Structure 1
Amino acid sequence: MIGIVGAGAFGTALAVALAKGGREVRLWARDPVRVKAIQDTRRNEAALPGVDLPEGLSIHADLASVCGGQALLLATPMQALGGLLDSWSVIDTRQPLVACCKGVDLATLRGPVAVIETRRPGARAAILTGPSFAADIARGLPTALTLAMAGDGAGLQELLSTPTLRLYRTDDVRGAELGGALKNVIAIAAGTVIGAGLGDSARAALMTRGYAEMVRLALALGARAETLAGLSGFGDLVLTCTSAQSRNFRYGLSLGKGESFDPSVTVEGVATSRAVRKLAEGIGVEMPVTAMVDALASGRIALNDAVGQLMSRPLKPE
């Protein structure tokens, strides 16, 4: 049995894909009323409209019901992960704990795996990350992700792979965490460029320089450059900077157009930009795109001033 905590779009999509792949999957949602509605209709319309839930997938309001299996996937927003682990003692170390979120914790400046290891000492912690949209996974469209964990992750890789969901594994946990977190920040910047009408050439330049600072920070924190060049870094960056399916890109579009954005939609890159700016400043790593996104999202700078600052940076070798 595979347990999944969090019945949002991504958690539900993973549950659908794994159940279609022949696994027994138990999905947990916090609200009992919502759980009953999903059980009755066999659909999670609020998170993943139009997708029928397959046999082998059950929905639960009791968290203990999804724990104790072969693996427990934590598909919660990054900023909620620590609180979830603090609140629920039933989440223990009997099974691998797999983070399915991307970002840096604002309180601790740690990534998802480090948050798990801090809250659950001794746990076999991992992260599942990479270029993917929930709707594509649920529809059975081919998707490749990175599974990062210390030690041998071959068994977990096989457990979580299906005919349409292909997992590649790495032991560079820090690199996989940072790739997934930082690409959200750059996606906001890319959306801002398009929303402001600056054009595709400007977006390409922004993505390139954004990727450079992703690698710069990752190397400073002990990650490997090749990890950032893989699915969890470059692959995810391309997807989220070029598709309106990305919440971070859409948020950036709104910033660029000067429009409001739905506050009920989780945009992980906003909190991540703030956390990463603090982290980078603390170790002396220059990250101008990330700093710009944080300043724009917090209202500390106007769009024209932000663009002007980036374009007036000193000329130097690439």
Structure 2
Amino acid sequence: MKVAVLGAGSWGTAIASVVAENGHKTTLWARRREQADEMNQEHRNHRYLQRAILPDTLCATHNLCEAVEGAELIVVAVPSKSVAHVAEDLSACLSSSIPVVAHAVKGFDPDSKMRVSEVLAVRAHIPEEQIAVITGPSHAEEVIAHLPATIVVASKRRLIAETVQDVLMNQYLRVYTNPDVVGAELGGSLKNIIALAVGVADGLGAGDNAKAALMTRGLAEIVRLGLTFGASPLTFAGLSGVGDLIVTCTSIHSRNFRTGRMLGQGKALPEALASIGMAVEGVNSTRIAVELAKKAAVEMPIAQTLHRVLFEQMPLDEAVEALMGRARSHEIEEVAKENLTAEWES
């Protein structure tokens, strides 16, 4: 199969490497000519994956239309803030034959606040049933090093999901499928918020108990918001939910965790972001999730408190007090009340 991967950051490069190693004719689109030349001539992507050697069969280009010409599968792997622009450019390159389009973006469009599949449908005119989502616990640094990993591909159509599954799956990357596009996208986007919060706790030296609590209660917030958009609660118990949440909240490869840790250590947000030097999706996702939660009347205390830290200069000690001092509540959420026993209700 001819495959085009759009976005030569760490994850886009790792995906393109996997696909090329699996024997598919693969073209990786980079925004900058110098980056494409480096990958073609040196088979390296020093900025994003310094230690990795790319497959000789992987071809890079800075020309978007050249990259997608004749492609049967297009994978979009750019930062969320760039999706709308890339989608419009992609639309101008596509012929009447629409290929399968997958995306591996864990964030929201900052202007429209739409999920990425919605942006692709609106801006690139891709039918929603032709779109798949690639998500799950998958740090590029480990995937490109052939360390064992599992991810999930979600699509409304089983054939589309299984097509992408077949292209990606090999002996070190196991790929599952899921019909819940909304849940897969929300899980991948919202977990970055919780990873920021866990990073802050780590930077403050709050301890493992606090980090475990943030992950657990953070998952409850993700589920609450996800259900209002029609997502399945089972999706959040899977790879795109708890799986991605765990790895993003605990790994040194996680930009969101590292950013949060720097905040906890006293660095300002601009300084922390500059130190990372790559997209930190959780910052924008925090802003959007709080807006979505307000409209849906969903309680997300961790996200809301983090929003005040990031955008309203709330002191970290006050943030901890605000979360720990909340009114008492039950662990069983409203969405699960029907499972309570009659004795408990009485």
What range is the shorter-chain TM-score in? over 0.9
Equivalent in 243, 255, 279 of residue 266 of structure 1 = 279
Residue 221 of structure 1 corresponds to 229
Whole-angstrom distance in 1 between the partners of 2:287 and 2:17: 33
* Structure 1 residues 122-158: Cα deviation after superposition (integer angstroms, max 9, x where no partner): 4311110010110111011111111011112222221
Higher radius of gyration, 1 or 2 = 2
Would you say 1:90 and 2:93 are equivalent positions?
Answer: yes
Give secondary structure in 1 for the equivalent of 2:4. Answer: strand
Whole-angstrom distance in 2 between the partners of 1:94 and 1:160: 20
**Identical-residue share of aligned pairs (%):** 37
Are the structure 2 counterparts of residues 82 and 91 from structure 1 closer, same or farther at C-alpha, using a change threshold of 3 Å? farther
Residue 112 of structure 1 corresponds to 116
Residue 4 of structure 1 corresponds to 5
* Structure 1 residues 143-188: Cα deviation after superposition (integer angstroms, max 9, x where no partner): 1111011112222221222222211111100000010001000000
Residue 138 of structure 1 corresponds to 144
Whole-angstrom distance in 1 between the partners of 2:106 and 2:137: 11
Per-residue deviation, 1:91: 4.7
| Contact residue 147 and residue 170 of structure 1 kept, 8 A | yes
Would you say 1:309 and 2:329 are equivalent positions?
Answer: no
The one-letter code matched in structure 1 to 2:328 is L
| Contact residue 235 and residue 241 of structure 2 kept, 8 A | yes
- In the TM superposition, 1:129-168 aligns within 5 A as 129-152=135-158, 153-168=161-176
Give secondary structure in 1 for the equivalent of 2:59. Answer: strand
Alpha-carbon RMSD: 1.3
Would you say 1:48 and 2:49 are equivalent positions?
Answer: yes
Would you say 1:234 and 2:234 are equivalent positions?
Answer: no
- Greater CA deviation, 152-161 or 86-95? 86-95
Give secondary structure in 2 for the equivalent of 1:47. Answer: coil
Per-residue deviation, 1:121: 3.0
**Greater helix share, structure number:** 2
* Structure 1 residues 4-37: Cα deviation after superposition (integer angstroms, max 9, x where no partner): 0111111111111221222221101111122222
- Greater CA deviation, 114-123 or 200-209? 114-123
Per-residue deviation, 1:87: 3.3
Higher relative contact order (CA 8 A, sep 6+): 1
Residue 253 of structure 1 corresponds to 261
Per-residue deviation, 1:80: 1.1
Per-residue deviation, 1:66: 1.9
Could you list the structure 1 runs, at least 4 aligned residues long, displaced by more than 3 angstroms after superposition.
Answer: none
Whole-angstrom distance in 1 between the partners of 2:100 and 2:306: 34
Give secondary structure in 2 for the equivalent of 1:261. Answer: helix
Equivalent in 281, 294, 297 of residue 294 of structure 2 = 281
Whole-angstrom distance in 2 between the partners of 1:76 and 1:122: 17
Residue 177 of structure 1 corresponds to 185
Whole-angstrom distance in 2 between the partners of 1:228 and 1:54: 34
Equivalent in 67, 72, 75 of residue 74 of structure 2 = 72
The one-letter code matched in structure 2 to 1:255 is L
Per-residue deviation, 1:65: 2.1
Residue 62 of structure 1 corresponds to 63
| Contact residue 30 and residue 61 of structure 1 kept, 8 A | yes
* Structure 1 residues 47-100: Cα deviation after superposition (integer angstroms, max 9, x where no partner): 111211113211111112221312100010012101211234115662111111
Per-residue deviation, 1:107: 1.6
Whole-angstrom distance in 2 between the partners of 1:70 and 1:160: 14
- Greater CA deviation, 175-184 or 82-91? 82-91
Residue 105 of structure 2 corresponds to 101
